[in-house]
Amino acid sequence: MNAGSENLTPRISEPSSARAKTTRLGDYRPRLRIGEYGTVASVGDGIAWITGLPSAAMDDVLMFEDGSWAVVFALTRKRIGAVLLHQTDTLTAGTSARLAGRTLDVPVGEALLGRVIDPIGNPLDGGRPLESRTRRPLDSPSPPIVARDFVQQPLYTGTRLVDTLVPIGKGQRQLIIGDEGTGRSSLAIDAVLNQKGRDVRCVYVLIGQKRSAVVGTIDLLRNYGALVYTTVVVGEAGALPGLKYLAPFAGCAIAESWMALGHDTLVVYDDLSTHAQTYRELSLLLRRPPGREAYPGDIFYLHARLLERATVLNPANGGGSMTALPIVETRLGEIEAYIPTNLISITDGQIYLDPDLFAAGFKPAIDVTRSVSRIGGKAQHPRIKEEAGRMKLDYLQFLELEIFTRFGARLESGMEARIRRGRLLREILRQERLQPLPPEFQLAWMIGYSEGLLDAVPPAAVQNTLNALNTAVRSGCPALEAARGEWVKWLRQNLPRPGQDGP
């Protein structure tokens, strides 16, 4: 065929797909293509050592010929240490490995609301595979300073003691710390339940927990209607160590994607003590030098780069926020342990749950003397902040004065009155779990206490009186911005009298 015959008309009328195929075939040139392949040297305890793959980098995904896959976690002169994320029964030494050409990411977006997934995006709730085209890296830099804004809006947890004396703002990192069995997870779950109807999307991360505990948490969220605005990320106790290690980063990436779109989000890490132990396990298996308590030297950086991603963005960057509630376990109340002190130094405050208060029946067992919110007060509503300011001081003074009553000393009438009011306040601050309360109720009982309207209520009737007050608040009450006199007038009309079940 001569050169002129190549410009015939029928070639122009070919479909676009046919033209594209013809172009690809025309551009094809036979040449030598080189690919990297490595070989598994050993496998065990969720770790694989691979020889070869000279161009592998940290956090690269590796694919094995048996269908397993892993992520590069350590680089040595002769071998690569990889953390397994999916392992088949046929993965053995001698299996071929190659680079997948990508780093770890997780699906994000609206499709994740109401779903239960593992840290790499596989559904665990028996539902359909996630149909999200948008993915986000698990580990990414935190927002720069110029993209951040001040914490200005309150995040209501529904817990009387927290919302008044240890307030939390949107974009804050507030640590929940205490011994096992003191109600740390219950406090976090109450905070998630209280976001119903407040346009706050939640991510609950379960790290290294038993399957029974995981199922119980999911059922609780579903029964109280919180699962529709919540995503649960699970790295359960029986999962590979790599999945438990990646769980908080996956949850953070999901919440971060919503924050970038301008939404307010809340992410709970339950808990980071187990996460630190998993990281220590992986590091020791990969022969990294151990440090204090056998933790690797970068354990502080591990949690810092995770929690620093929680912030509030300025309007130019969408105005979204991500509030983080990391949970950490202490042993025998030792708050000065290595991991707790690390997290205390990273976060913006802590809520300490005292085992002695819990054993005495005071729930939530929050120790006000050792709990603090460094920036939450700036986000607290001005009316609630005004009432709570002097109340916290009075409560702390009461705790000190009560010590003297243990010696049986005779007190003057003024001192006895202060102790009596302090005991009334302590009874008011008691609250059962799964009973989140609106901010209007918080202001109502504080004004009622400050005005002495609750002084005549017997201690045994305090909770019934507060329940009746809560019912009255939900039926209709002044706005938070209303004048204090208007609130006092409303309380005199609606606050139940002693011996009555309602106003």
Point out the residues that are catalytic: 374
Separation in Å, CA 429 to CA 114, 333, 351, 368, 422: 32, 22, 15, 11, 11
Q: Count helices and strands (H / E) in the chain.
A: 16, 16
E strand intervals along 53-95: 60-64, 69-75, 79-86
Between β-strands 349-353 and 372-373, what pairing exists: parallel, antiparallel or unpaired?
A: antiparallel
Whether a cis peptide bond, with omega within 30° of 0, leads into 271 is yes
Q: Which helix (H) or strand (E) holds 402?
A: helix 382-405
E strand intervals along 217-305: 230-235, 264-270
Do the beta carbons of residue 239 and residue 119 sit within 8 Å?
Answer: no
| Distance of alpha carbon 269 from alpha carbon 256, whole angstroms | 14
- The encoded tokens of residue 22 equal 């013809």
Cα–chain-centroid distance for residue 191?
A: 10
3-state secondary structure of 234: strand
309, with CB counted inside 10 A (0-12, 13-18, 19+), is buried
> In terms of DSSP H, where are the helices of 166-228?
184-193, 211-223
| Distance of alpha carbon 364 from alpha carbon 361, whole angstroms | 9
